[in-house]
Structure 1
Amino acid sequence: MPVSTSVPDGGVAVVTVDYAPVNALPVRGWYDLADAVRAAGRDPEVRCVVLAAAGRGFNAGVDIKEMQRDVGHQALIGANRGCYEAFSAVYECEVPVVAAVQGFCLGGGIGLVGNADAIVASDDATFGLPELDRGALGAATHLARLVPQHLMRALYYTSRTATAAELHAHGSVWRVVPRTELHAAALELAHEMARKDGTLLRLAKAAINGIDPVDVHRSYRFEQGFTFEANLSGLADRIRDGFGGAANDRTTTAKEQEQKEQEQEDPA
């Protein structure tokens, strides 16, 4: 199953995404993820949810090839709505959500972790929004929850990534561990939360969301309007067609270029 939920253990449920090869989710995948997170949060036996992923990286965003195969705008509309549902499900989950992030966390992945309650990351994890390279916009709302405002803008405009260690220094990543220890570290934090009273945890989650200074739903929906505008104008298609090619004259390191080539080859 591309999206699966483990049997709760000690009040913790683990929702795992596995869309080989790079966890670039199709429209259906975003809705399935939203359903799984909401169901786990509604379970009275669950007091914390761990959001994890199998494979090379945590999330590579939407499946761009699915949109390129669509002659109309249904795939774009579906991706917009699916991402909105998945991000909202994490934010509105009745209990805390701990994101366990390994490898790349890009695009829609930022929407997921930005709305999570806590993040545990492997030491090879990188976070970023390559949206401008892909003819899209969005999730600045969520990146702004991970880094300070001016850094968010610089990362967004350049499509650069930040490391787990850098996010840890900003206080948005709880702990950075070797990849082999990621699952255990995320479960350790989740179990610590799950030892609290379940009813009180749910009240605490609702209270914290209620005092959030930014309405993440409205803010992200506003961003999505500009993504649709870029698509209607044909601008997005022109940029996606040249994705990873010579049109992008931003200087990259060898490692960044290798990652971009992998994402071009795979659904991303």
Structure 2
Amino acid sequence: MKQSNTFATGFIKAFCEAGTGLLVIDNPQRKNAVTAAMWRAIPEAIHWLHAEAGARVIVLTGGGTVDFSAGADISEFTELRNDAATARIYEASNSRAFAAVREAPVPVIAAVRGVCYGGGFGLAAAADLRLASSDAMFAVPAARLGLAYPADAVQDFVRGLGSQMARRALFTGAAMKAAELLACGFLSEMTEPDQLEQRAQILADTIAANAPLSLRASKLALRAVEEADVDMLREAEIIGASTFESEDYREGRTAFAERRRPVFTGR
């Protein structure tokens, strides 16, 4: 059964079917620019998808057929980001959105087409896997606007792009092509524009068919290694050890013996 929900008066949409979640930044008239209300809604939507709708994987994408996201809605900056005090409040909601993607207990796939700038680029960088169409363009224009990118989100650029490309992106503000980001390892795959949705769906469905506890343990272990977090690594080890007592492990062994596809329940 397909489930759906909307947030931020419909500008953030969430869908889930057969364990595959879809989170849509839906503001195509403004190149899917993210308003303050949308930033606040992203963590809510991600929580709803995995905790209530039962998503085992989430695909993050932009509404319409042209762009992923132009980033934060600059038209709000005069009121909501006009000095250090208001900027701190605004950037806290940015950081919570990036963290919700990064720390989601299920894998998050960013499917990128067209413009992927600023905060949109940050959301993609926080995802676990990234696919892009060959026409996608990426940039962090903060330096060209006279502001600094949120420091706690820079880590995602460094991890995804590598040290040199992250510096290039942040220092120059210049746009980079999908082919460049495929070459540096930021993207796991580059597709033709008309194939992006299909390729993202195939990847998501493949992940959703696997054991949820295994996915959770793997994502946590990967984060622990990247962030050099000993406590997180220990938590991943505990979850990993619990899989050997799970119903899904028994189902996996049985299905292998019976030469059929396993049906995992997350228990």
- TM-score band by shorter chain is 0.7 to 0.9
Aligned with 1:14 (options 19, 22, 26): 22
In 2, are the aligned partners of 1:49 and 1:98 still within 8 Å (CA)? yes
Q: Specify whether residues 170 and 73 from structure 1 end up closer, same or farther in structure 2 by C-alpha distance, changes over 3 A only.
A: closer
* Paired amino acid for 1:181: Q
Match of residue 62 from structure 1: 72
In 2, are the aligned partners of 1:28 and 1:82 still within 8 Å (CA)? no
Structure number with the higher helix fraction is 2
Q: Give runs of aligned pairs for residues 1-268 of structure 1, distance below 5 A.
A: 1-6=10-15, 8-19=16-27, 20-43=29-52, 45-55=54-64, 56-70=66-80, 75-138=86-149, 139-213=153-227
d(CA) in 1 for partners of 2:111 and 2:54? 21
SS of alignment partner, residue 49 of structure 1: strand
Q: Deviations over 1:143-163 (max 9, x none)?
A: 222323122212221111221
Aligned residues: 214
Q: Specify whether residues 74 and 23 from structure 1 end up closer, same or farther in structure 2 by C-alpha distance, changes over 3 A only.
A: farther
Q: Deviations over 1:195-222 (max 9, x none)?
A: 110122112222221221368xxxxxxx
Q: Specify whether residues 163 and 206 from structure 1 end up closer, same or farther in structure 2 by C-alpha distance, changes over 3 A only.
A: same
Q: Deviations over 1:207-252 (max 9, x none)?
A: 221221368xxxxxxxxxxxxxxxxxxxxxxxxxxxxxxxxxxxxx
User: Which segment drifts farther, 95-104 or 20-29?
Assistant: 20-29
In 1, are the aligned partners of 2:25 and 2:34 still within 8 Å (CA)? no
Of structures 1 and 2, the larger Rg is shown by 2
SS of alignment partner, residue 212 of structure 1: helix
SS of alignment partner, residue 144 of structure 1: helix
* Paired amino acid for 1:13: G
User: Which segment drifts farther, 44-53 or 79-88?
Assistant: 44-53
Deviation of 1:140 after TM superposition, in Å, equals 3.2
Deviation of 1:5 after TM superposition, in Å, equals 0.8
* Paired amino acid for 2:68: F
Q: Deviations over 1:78-135 (max 9, x none)?
A: 4201111110000111100000111111111122111111001111111111100112
- TM-score normalised per structure 2: 0.74
Unaligned runs of 5+ in 1: 216-268
d(CA) in 2 for partners of 1:142 and 1:11? 26
In 2, are the aligned partners of 1:60 and 1:109 still within 8 Å (CA)? yes
* Paired amino acid for 2:111: A
Match of residue 6 from structure 2: none
d(CA) in 1 for partners of 2:145 and 2:41? 24
d(CA) in 1 for partners of 2:228 and 2:162? 14
In 1, are the aligned partners of 2:113 and 2:135 still within 8 Å (CA)? yes
Q: Deviations over 1:172-205 (max 9, x none)?
A: 2111112222111111111111111012211222
Q: Which has the higher contact order (CA 8 A, sep 6+)?
A: 1
d(CA) in 2 for partners of 1:38 and 1:53? 19
